[in-house]
């Protein structure tokens, strides 16, 4: 099984610095394999638990991203990450 | 018993006045290279790498704990993000793969860091390319641990020292505890290097450009630094120390006396009002400059809001910083220079192309065309923050009328945007320009029709008129603002201001040079702006001069044929004044 979601980034700085850190921390809480890609930049999938890989996606304000999770807690992972993005990283 | 030490004298360039006696602290930035060694096998190499990263995490934790409440939260957050990078699964994977293929831990680390940094830079995104520097920074940290090189703890000296370095970059000033620095000595640099400007701003003595002699100084050597003569004495004798101690005392007494005088308005002997303002580069100098008798800000170097940041500072952040400074100067004149970066100052978050001649490249006003949002945000911040203050805007590096028109267009746009957004702003900000390019001097009369004021930037003017890179220490002997060509450019500018009835100020280093005062007065300069701690001396010299004398000195100087002759004559005139 694979769970996935496509979301638009609406916080000002995009997936950098604190938001990126929060994203990685949240993803790392789950045992599932979690990948992310930047649709707007037409990138491939990267490891969502790596802040370094996340950075190379260059996710900025307004970009659309796709998150994909595979594993025992994939649904919970997707829900948690989706919430984080939709709440603008609790800014 | 003390070990036998020998006194040694070194001559450098004195760039910030004052004498200090203290202990040397050598500040070094290591360039690390992995040494070639035999491969210990996968398990051992991986363990080495894991140990090094574990240690890095501990070091970063220490840094964070030690600096909580000491440095601002933004800088602390950087260390937090470094911690995350150090433990990054993708970094570990890359290193592990390389080790599998037979690379040592050090080689594998270097390869991974290089790959990651390059892939970040390739994105050509200003903010992300800044992260590449962070990746390299953690790479150096892990490598240091692998090689067993101890970290040069930048943040540890907690007693007063004399800082000895190769050179100081703007970024160094964030991490160094400057309140413990009594004086600065650098191997490289000249009168206008960052170190020199920093030292003058802090009001501490500095000697730069001592060259290879720097190697003769070791940690904890006792040093005497004379920032006026450029003399450095290593391990001075007792007699020598006593002589200098009495000089320090005399110097301090004189400064106190001058300070009292400087708080009054400044007039020449024949009652011509001369305004003496300060060049400000951050909030703390804005506060302290009033104690030196500053009558306003002749140059607010807005770069401070941009240089030490990790991303383009947002509008509200800029407004906050500006208001903090403005409110120290109610009713007084405040000249905000628009962002002047490029050349040798690049914030990491702006992705600059490699330039063969950066000083002739994308700098100052030219930068705005590449990053219009940067200009727009700054203008929005200035316009909003300046309500109720006597603020003027100044454009750096102007070389054509189009440069002014470009900025004017943006001001108009920002004004109409702010109106639409119902945001209050200052509608009447005078717009002036820096005169610092040869082109601007040649068309100064035309520029006068488009500007409300001029301010002469002598450092860049000298660099561009004499075609001498001011950061090239091999040419520092040629860099001299007293060169007749530079003086003629200054005179032409002041004359154009007079005939077009617009004020002319000088905010370059020359305005704070004591012997230049009679010359500049004689040329007709009425507004001087300089680093705050020079104000008392300069005001004192102005008050001892009358215009007739100043004009006579100017006439003599303008007939001379070389910078050396000019300096010699002005030295004599200054001495005559002192007697």
Instruction: Report angle CA B191, B194, B198 to the nearest 5 degrees.
Output: 95
Most confident of B135-139, B284-288, B510-514: B510-514
Nearest-neighbour CA in chain A from B314: distance (Å): 10
Q: Which residue has the tokens 């009447």?
A: B428
Q: How far apart are CA B222 and CA B25, in angstroms?
A: 10
Active site residue: B30, B82, B194, B275, which one? B194
Q: Which residues pair with B391 in a beta bridge?
A: B334
What is the four-CA torsion angle of B543, B246, B294, B338, rounded to 10 degrees?
120
Q: Tell me if A35 sits within 8 A of B75, measured CB to CB.
A: no
Per-residue model confidence (pLDDT) at position B345: 66
Q: Bin B498: left if φ > 0, else alpha if -120 < ψ < 50, else beta.
A: alpha
B266 included as an active-site residue: no
Q: Which residues pair with B22 in a beta bridge?
A: B223
Per-residue model confidence (pLDDT) at position B519: 98
Per-residue model confidence (pLDDT) at position B158: 61
Q: Tell me if A63 sits within 8 A of A20, measured CB to CB.
A: no
Which parts of B386-469 fold into alpha helices (H)?
Answer: 401-420, 438-442, 444-448, 458-466
Fold of A3-90: 3.30.1340
Burial class (CB in 10 A: 0-12, 13-18, 19+), A83: exposed
B1 has pLDDT over 50: no
User: Read out DSSP for B533-563?
Assistant: GGHHHHHHHHHT--HHHHHHHHHHHHT--SH
Per-residue model confidence (pLDDT) at position B258: 77
Mean pLDDT of chain B: 88
User: Read out DSSP for B470-491?
Assistant: TT-GGGTTT--TTSHHHHHHHH
In this predicted model, what pLDDT tens digit does every residue of A18-32 receive, in sequence order? 788 889 999 999 999
Per domain, the residue ranges of chain A are 3-90
B383 has pLDDT over 60: yes
Cβ contact (<8 Å) for A50 and B120? no
In whole angstroms, how far apart are CA B493 and each of B328, B386, B486, B553?
Answer: 31, 28, 11, 19
Q: Is the dihedral of CA B308, B311, B312, B316 positive or negative?
A: negative
B153 has pLDDT over 70: no
A14 has pLDDT over 50: yes
Nearest-neighbour CA in chain B from A1: distance (Å): 24
For residue A37 the two structure tokens come to 């890609």
User: Which residues on B lie below 8 Å from A15 (Cβ)?
Assistant: none
Most confident of B122-126, B306-310, B513-517: B513-517
Q: Tell me if B350 sits within 8 A of B341, measured CB to CB.
A: yes
> What pLDDT band is residue B154 in, cutting at 50, 70 and 90?
very low
User: Which residues on B lie below 8 Å from A17 (Cβ)?
Assistant: 77, 81, 310-311
> What pLDDT band is residue B3 in, cutting at 50, 70 and 90?
very low
Q: What mean pLDDT do residues B374-384 have? A: 95
Mutate to test the interface with A, among B77, B88, B124 (most CBs of A within 10 A): B88
Q: Mark B205-242 as b/e (b = at least 16 C-beta within 10 Å).
A: bbbbbbeebbeebeeebbbbbbbeebbbbbbbeeeeee
> What pLDDT band is residue B389 in, cutting at 50, 70 and 90?
very high
In this predicted model, what pLDDT tens digit does every residue of B37-83 receive, in sequence order? 889 999 999 999 999 999 999 988 887 887 676 665 666 777 788 89
Cβ contact (<8 Å) for B90 and A53? yes
What percent of chain B clears pLDDT 90, i.e. is strictly above it? 57
Q: How far apart are CA B345 and CA B335, in angstroms?
A: 21
Task: Count CB atoms within 10 A of the CB of residue B202.
Answer: 21
Q: How far apart are CA B492 and CA B476, in angstroms?
A: 25
In this predicted model, what pLDDT tens digit does every residue of B223-263 receive, in sequence order? 999 998 899 999 999 998 999 999 888 878 877 777 777 77
Q: Which residue has the tokens 């940041």?
A: B309
For residue B305 the two structure tokens come to 């809001």
Q: What mean pLDDT do residues B404-423 have? A: 95
**B259-263, B283-287, B413-417: range with lowest mean pLDDT:** B259-263
B175 has pLDDT over 70: no
For residue A78 the two structure tokens come to 């997707």
> B92 CB near a chain A CB, below 8 Å?
no
Instruction: Report angle CA B546, B550, B552 to the nearest 5 degrees.
Output: 120
Q: How far apart are CA B479 and CA B460, in angstroms?
A: 10
User: Read out DSSP for B13-79?
Assistant: EEEE--EEEEEEEEE------PPP-----HHHHHHHHHHHHHHHHHHHHHHHHHHTTTS-HHHHHHH
Contacts (Cβ under 8 Å, ≥6 apart) of B498: B504, B524
Per-residue model confidence (pLDDT) at position A28: 93
Chain A neighbours among B 307-336 (CB < 8 Å)? 310-311, 314
> What pLDDT band is residue B155 in, cutting at 50, 70 and 90?
very low
Contacts (Cβ under 8 Å, ≥6 apart) of B307: B170, B171, B341, B345, B347
Q: Tell me if B8 sits within 8 A of B216, measured CB to CB.
A: yes
Q: What mean pLDDT do residues B313-322 have? A: 88
Per-residue model confidence (pLDDT) at position B62: 84
Task: Tell me how many helices (H) and strands (E) chain B has.
Answer: 22, 16
Q: Tell me if A5 sits within 8 A of A82, measured CB to CB.
A: yes
Indicate the DSSP class of residue A29: T
Per-residue model confidence (pLDDT) at position B179: 75
Q: Tell me if B153 sits within 8 A of B66, measured CB to CB.
A: no
Enter the pTM of the model.
0.59
Q: Which residues pair with B276 in a beta bridge?
A: B528
> A17 CB near a chain B CB, below 8 Å?
yes
Strands A64-70 and B222-226, sheet pairing: unpaired
In this predicted model, what pLDDT tens digit does every residue of B453-512 receive, in sequence order? 999 999 999 999 999 988 787 888 899 999 999 999 999 999 999 999 999 999 989 999
User: Which residues on A lie below 8 Å from B96 (Cβ)?
Assistant: none
Please report the ipTM that was assigned to this predicted complex.
0.88
A67: phi then psi, degrees, rounded to nearest 5: -115, 135
What percent of chain B clears pLDDT 70, i.e. is strictly above it? 91
First to last CA, chain B: 47
Q: How far apart are CA A63 and CA B521, in angstroms?
A: 58
Backbone Cα Rg of chain B: 26
More confident residue, B145 or B394: B394
Q: How far apart are CA B271 and CA B174, in angstroms?
A: 44
Angle between helices B563-578 and B484-499 (to 10 degrees): 70
B356 has pLDDT over 90: no
B90 has pLDDT over 80: yes
In this predicted model, what pLDDT tens digit does every residue of B193-227 receive, in sequence order? 767 877 887 788 999 999 999 989 988 899 999 99
Nearest Cα neighbor of B119 from B137, B142, B136 is B136
Give the 3-state secondary structure of residue B143: helix
């Amino acid at each position: 099984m694979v769970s996935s979601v496509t979301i638009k980034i609406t916080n000002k700085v995009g997936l950098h610095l604190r938001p990126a850190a929060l994203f990685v921390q949240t993803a790392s809480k789950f045992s599932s394999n979690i990948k992310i890609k930047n649709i707007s930049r037409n990138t491939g999938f990267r490891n969502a638990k790596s802040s370094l890989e996340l950075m190379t996606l260059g996710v900025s304000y307004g970009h659309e991203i796709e998150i994909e999770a595979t594993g025992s807690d994939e649904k919970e992972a997707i829900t948690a990450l989706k919430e984080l993005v939709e709440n603008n990283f609790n800014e | 018993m003390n070990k036998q030490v020998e006194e040694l004298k070194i001559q450098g360039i004195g760039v910030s006045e004052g004498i200090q006696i203290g202990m040397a602290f050598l500040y070094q930035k290591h360039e690390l290279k992995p040494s070639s060694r035999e491969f210990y096998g996968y398990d051992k190499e991986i363990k080495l790498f894991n140990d090094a990263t574990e240690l890095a995490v501990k070091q970063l934790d220490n840094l964070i704990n030690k600096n909580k409440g000491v440095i601002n939260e933004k800088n602390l957050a950087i260390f937090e993000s470094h911690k995350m990078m150090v433990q990054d699964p993708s970094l570990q994977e890359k290193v592990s793969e390389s080790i599998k293929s037979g690379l040592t831990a050090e080689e594998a680390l270097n390869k991974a860091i290089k790959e990651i940094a390059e892939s970040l830079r390739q994105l050509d995104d200003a903010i992300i390319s800044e992260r590449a520097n962070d990746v390299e920074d953690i790479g150096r940290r892990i490598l240091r641990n692998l090689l067993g090189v101890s970290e040069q703890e930048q943040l540890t000296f907690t007693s007063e020292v004399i800082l000895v370095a190769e050179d100081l970059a703007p970024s160094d000033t964030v991490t160094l505890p400057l309140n413990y620095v009594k004086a600065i000595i650098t191997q490289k640099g000249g009168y206008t290097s960052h170190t020199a400007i920093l030292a003058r701003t802090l009001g501490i003595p500095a000697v730069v450009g001592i060259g290879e002699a720097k190697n003769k100084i070791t940690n904890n050597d006792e040093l005497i630094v004379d920032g006026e003569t450029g003399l450095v004495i290593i391990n001075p004798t007792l007699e020598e120390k006593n002589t200098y101690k009495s000089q320090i005392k005399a110097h301090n007494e004189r400064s106190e006396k001058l300070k009292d005088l400087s708080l009054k308005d400044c007039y020449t002997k024949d009652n011509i009002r001369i305004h003496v303002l300060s060049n400000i580069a951050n909030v703390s100098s804005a506060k302290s400059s009033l104690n030196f008798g500053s009558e306003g800000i002749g140059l607010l170097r807005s770069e401070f809001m941009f240089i030490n940041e990790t991303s383009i500072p947002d509008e509200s952040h800029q407004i906050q910083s500006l208001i903090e400074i403005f409110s120290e100067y109610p009713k007084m004149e405040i000249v905000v220079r628009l962002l002047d970066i490029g050349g040798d100052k690049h914030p990491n978050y702006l992705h600059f192309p490699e330039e063969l001649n950066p000083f002739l490249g994308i700098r100052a006003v030219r930068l705005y065309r590449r990053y219009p949002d940067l200009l727009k945000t700054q203008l929005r911040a200035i316009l909003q923050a300046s309500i109720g203050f006597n603020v003027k805007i100044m454009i750096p590096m102007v070389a054509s009328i189009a440069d002014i028109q470009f900025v004017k267009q943006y001001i108009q746009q920002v004004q109409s945007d702010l109106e639409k957004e119902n945001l209050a702003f200052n509608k009447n900000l005078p717009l002036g320009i820096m005169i610092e390019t040869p082109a601007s001097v040649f068309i100064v009369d035309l520029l006068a029709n488009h500007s409300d004021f001029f301010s002469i930037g002598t450092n860049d003017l000298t660099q561009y008129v004499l075609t001498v890179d001011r950061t090239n220490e091999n040419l520092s002997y040629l860099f001299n603002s007293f060169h007749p060509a530079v003086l003629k450019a200054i005179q032409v500018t002041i004359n154009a201001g007079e005939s077009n009835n617009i004020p002319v100020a000088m905010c370059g280093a020359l305005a704070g040079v004591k012997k230049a005062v009679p010359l500049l007065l004689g040329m007709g300069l009425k507004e001087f702006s300089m680093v705050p701690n020079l104000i008392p001396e300069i005001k004192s010299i102005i008050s001892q001069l009358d215009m007739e004398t100043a004009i006579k000195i100017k006439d003599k100087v303008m007939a001379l044929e070389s910078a050396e002759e000019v300096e010699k004559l002005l030295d004599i005139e200054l001495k005559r004044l002192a007697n």
